[in-house]
Structures are given as C-alpha cells and as structure tokens.
A and B are shown apart, each in its own frame.
Chain A
C-alpha cells in the first residue's frame, strides 16, 4: 500500500512520549496535516506510524498571563489564534501573520506549531514570532527544555528536534505584548498563495526595532535589534547583507532583494516615522 500507515491517537503526553520512544524515526506527528498529508499523498514521505496529537487536552490550550505571556499549544489552529480577542489585542502582529496563511478552511486545520516545525523558508508565522522573541518548549520522556525560535531553525524544513522529542507549545514572552507591528507578504495573486518574500517589523517596548524576513534564506531570518533612532537605510543595508535569497519558480533573487527594501521602507514609515 503506497500510503499505508498505522494511526495512533494518544490521549496524554505520557502516551505520546511512549509512542515516540517506541517508534522513533518510523513515526511522524500529525497536527493539522496540511503539510504532512500533502507530502504523504504526493509520495514524498513515507511513515509506518502516524501519531495524531489533537486529542491531548494540554496541547489544545491557548492562554495568556501577565507573567508568562502567550502560550500556544501544539494543537492550536491558526483560526483559534486569530479568533482569540486577547491574542489580537496583545500580539496583533502574530495574528496578522497567521491571517495570511492559505484559506479559511486551511486555517481551521493548520496549527501555529506545525507551521514552525515544518520550517519552510516561507512559513508565515515565523517573521512575527521571531520579532516577538518566541520560545519553543520541547518535551520528551526524559524532560523538557526551552529554546529560542531563532535557534530552533536549522535549514530548509529542518529544525532542532530529535525523533523522541515533540514541541509542546510556543511561548511569546510578556515583554513583547502590545508591541506595535505589521507584516507585509508579497504574493503572485491576491487570493491564497505562498509568499515570494515577506517582512515583519515590530517596535518592542517602544524603543527597539525588530525586523524578520521569510522566503529570503534557507530559514526565516531575524536581524539584530535596532534602536528606535536607526535610519531606515541602515536597516535595509543590514537586511540585504543578512539574507541569501535564490532564484526559483516563485520569484527571482533580484525581485526578492528589491522588495525587501521596499517593504522595510513601507513598514518603517507606517510604524516609526
């Protein structure tokens, strides 16, 4: 059977860890399936075991506290985040990024954590999460650890995650709450499309400018922090030195480089000037 696999639906994190320990690289986690099912059905990937995490109550939690910030469980969908009034109010930039993913039916399934673990260079939530200094909580049967999202990405569709580990949640710290920010995504059509290039900018605590860019390097990239009085040309200079875009089916390298400059200028005018 070309697509054959055994399906598991653990009801707890303990059960999930047992399955990951037992099957290792032979199994794959299923969240919304909008990347995984496409890959399996296209014959790009083959796994013996599929482990659906949507039935684990703690992974469905989306919560905010002043001490801990926003916590986005691994099964939380883009739609859940977008429809959450606290997330909209406190982390508007992230919601804006999530709103640009695919179509409404896709967003009803696609998870934020899936978008990050899938680690496509064009992952739309990545620029927002990077600007907001998101942290990734990784768990396994031997414990848990937190790493910064910027250190989690390793390459095209590669993240720092062992076969027995899973991402339990993404945490967006309280220091980034209420940050002013915006996201610009270049597409070929007005309807749903992957980005040719995209840029997010945020002003953190009213005096730090953060810029992150997707579809312009093997992983989404974050620039070093800038102070509020940095000139826009300097930010563009640093950006163009940091990214490594390629020519591909969606866009030429030159167009990508050009639009990074255009978007940084527009975002700067909107948020800072």
Chain B
C-alpha cells in the first residue's frame, strides 16, 4: 500500500492505494466515481478515458499510484453546478448516445479536442476520437454532435464569418 495525494474533479483526496491497482479501478472502486467505464482494460477502446493533468489518457493503463500530486478530471467533472456542458447537451440533441457505455470516454476526448482546437475540421474530430470505440450509435451522430458543440462554443463575433 502507498499513500497518495491527488485531485479529482477539483476535490483534493489523500488515500491509501494498492500499488498494482489501475487508476480506472481506483476511481470506480475507491472513489466511487463509476462514470468512467472499463471496456477492454487494454488501451484499445477508450471507454476509460480521463484527463490527467489536462490530457486525455486511458485510465486502464495508468496505475493509481502514478497520480500522486496530479489532477484528474472524469466525466463527473464535466457538468458544472448540475448543468450539462454544451458538448453534453449536443450529444443529447443529436442522439449521439444509445447504450451510453462509450459516452463518458467519448465526451472526455471531444472535450479535450475543443480545448486544444476550437475550430476542428471533420478529420480533426475523427482523429481525436480514433481511440474511442462506439459499438452501437455509429460515429456519424457523435461527429455531428461535436461539430455542433464547436459551433455553440464559438464566440459570437466569429460566428458571423
């Protein structure tokens, strides 16, 4: 066991953790944040995507002990004050969700893309969600939702152009 101190969704924690435990299992089992999903457990599917120091990573391939001193954002940290983010609302509007298993990871990847690149081209979106598999909705609605969210998030001025 190791004692680690870290932040999840803005809240500071100090916890004991088994050294072999992945960040994914730790978030779900020890911090009770079950929004982040385990699909493959091997880096392939992206269901476990979270932000680690602002960058998307596969939580199934990170050890919980590695987040000592770091900041994690999970899907639970994307809505603010009980209100969905514009990106989450766009997913709803476009029916970009069926079973919802891929959605937390998909939202995290798209959220990070829009922070890096507020005007993504379709290829940029495809590349950003390349590591996020969806087995039911199909990618079109998801891509359209992200395009719509990018449009919503644009400052009013540039919208006219």
Contact = CB atoms under 8 A, between A and B. Distances in A.
Contacts of B109: 104-105
Interface stretch (A2-10, A63-71, A221-229): A2-10
A5 B58 contact: no
**Which residue among B2, B52, B55 has the maximum number of chain A CB atoms within 10 Å of its CB?**
B55
A249 interface: no
A108 B130 contact: no
Q: How large is the interface on B (under 10, 10 to 19, 20 to 34, 35 or more residues)?
A: 20 to 34
A173 interface: no
A264 B96 CA distance: 42
Nearest to A108: B55
A106 B131 CA distance: 8
Residues of B contacting A: mostly: mixed
Interface stretch (A16-24, A35-43, A124-132, A139-147): A35-43
B43 A38 contact: yes
The DSSP consensus for interface residues of chain A is loop
B120 interface: no
A261 B60 CA distance: 39
**What bracket does the count of chain A residues touching chain B fall in?**
20 to 34
B42 interface: yes
A105 B22 contact: no
9 contacts: A3-B20, A4-B19, A9-B68, A38-B61, A50-B19, A103-B46, A104-B109, A105-B58, A108-B55
Interface of B: 2, 18-20, 22, 41-43, 46, 49, 52, 55-58, 60-63, 65-66, 68, 109, 127-128, 130-132
